[in-house]
Chain A
Amino acid sequence: MKILSGFHWLMLALVGVSLSALAAEVYKKPETFLQEAFNQQVPEPGLVWLVGDTGKKVEAILGHPPDALRERYWAKQGRSAWILEEVGKSRPITVGVVIRKHRIERLDVLIYRESRGWEVRYPVFTDQFRQASLAENGKLDVTIDGITGATLSVNALTRLARVALYLDSQVSDS
């Protein structure tokens, strides 16, 4: 007895692909990212308040008010780690950034929730942020090559890199 035809299997496969696209892809747990960043010796977190001039600057970088009034960071021996979120098109992308001497040491996509643009997770893209720092005009001092079909995700990661560098400068200077 033939229960499901080829057409039915095709439709089921399409539904499965659609549902998987809606699910969040956890590429690396934030706690794993922190352990890697600090060689299993994660320091106590600190807080930076996104109010006053700091809040206005972050808002200018993001193009919208920050989602929360304070941001958590981890700092040890001249390095700071940040776990930040920003919406690419419709859903937030979680990114981990490690900064050393005001330059990005590494940038990892930790959780990706958008339906397209996931190519930004690959090291071939994220490695472009290595050694990037903030230029005088508040933008990155390196050029980030885009990915066709992932423009909004690329822009979101670039904004987060700028926010992380700016906040690092605030906590380092203080």
Chain B
Amino acid sequence: MRRLRPGALFRWHRYAGALASVFLILVALTGVAVNHLDDVGLGDTRVTWSPLMSWYGLGVGAVPMTAFRAGDQVFAWVDGTLYDATGGESGKGGAGVRLAHRPVGAVAVGRLVAMASPHEIVLLTREGGDVVERLRDEDLPGRIVRLGAGGNQVFVQASGRLYKTDPSFLNWTAAARSESGTIRWSAAIAVPEAVKGQWRGEGLPLERVLLDLHSGRLWGGGAWMSDLSALAIVFLVVSGLLNWRQRNR
């Protein structure tokens, strides 16, 4: 049997040690941290760092959301659901109103709030946010681009033209160009932080993040890297013992 040259085993022992050192230090530090989180009072700590939340698929940036002011109310739309976010909170505790497409505006008229998306207008009661009616394509003058209000009328820019309706929303008529000066077009506002927070929840438990770092599951294929590190430890032990034996001869 061919014998390993003196020094070759030690060289491999050195390479394996260098390669595994980064992971071993990480595994050691995270392991110690997880074991003593409660001792240092961090057992209930949660992480809300945006890049990390995004990495876990809980980032606000990954979720379509927008918000509009209608009268003295604020409505937030998050991924197909509409919430009354007046006062910076989701008024319905998460049980929102379905609105499939991203809204283009909201206005308050009379006792109603109208929230428009390109193919649908949802009418809600100002008090309670109950759905009064859903106006779909057949009830609209075209694909809605903008929603606004002027006087006691509601205006939409749809299919390249300007239309108006009264608070009943029953009929749409073409609006004169001279009326456009009186329209206050609805524009998106910043999504309230409380709404973003509700989407994110309370954040990730620090213990969860450390355990995922420890096991390597925090990054793709990380678990395999941890497995290789574990095998490297076995190799280091065996090669270290063999080196010791060779040197004693």
Contact = CB atoms under 8 A, between A and B. Distances in A.
Interface in A1-26: none
Contacts of A71: 133
A44 B173 CA distance: 12
B133 A69 contact: yes
Interface in A24-47: 29-31, 34, 44-47
Interface string B127-159: 000111110111100000000000000000000
B45 interface: no
B125 interface: yes
Contact of A30 (B125, B131, B137): B137
A30 B133 contact: no
Nearest to A71: B133
Contact of B138 (A44, A47, A70, A83): A83
A69 B130 contact: yes
A47 B170 contact: yes
Given A29-B138, A30-B138, A31-B138, A70 B170 contact: no
A59 B63 CA distance: 35
A135 interface: no
A67 interface: yes
Contacts, number: 35
Interface string B152-171: 00000000000000001011
A69 B138 contact: no
Select the residue from A29, A44, A68 with max chain B CB neighbours within 10 A. Answer: A68
A36 B171 CA distance: 20
Contact of A69 (B132, B137, B170): B132
Contacts of A101: none
Contacts of A56: none
Interface string A50-77: 0000000000000000011111100000
B131 A68 contact: yes
A47 B135 CA distance: 12
B136 A30 contact: yes
Contacts of B134: 67-68
Contact of A47 (B130, B131, B137, B168): B168
A46 B136 CA distance: 15
Given A44-B171, A45-B171, 9 more contacts: A30-B136, A30-B138, A67-B134, A68-B132, A68-B134, A69-B133, A70-B133, A72-B139, A72-B170
Interface of A: 29-31, 34, 44-47, 67-72, 83
16 contacts: A29-B137, A30-B138, A31-B137, A34-B138, A45-B139, A45-B171, A47-B133, A47-B168, A67-B131, A68-B134, A69-B125, A69-B133, A70-B132, A70-B133, A71-B133, A72-B139
Query: Which 10 A-B pairs have CB atoms at the shortest separation, nearest pair first?
Result: A30-B138, A31-B138, A69-B132, A68-B131, A68-B133, A70-B133, A45-B170, A70-B132, A69-B130, A68-B134
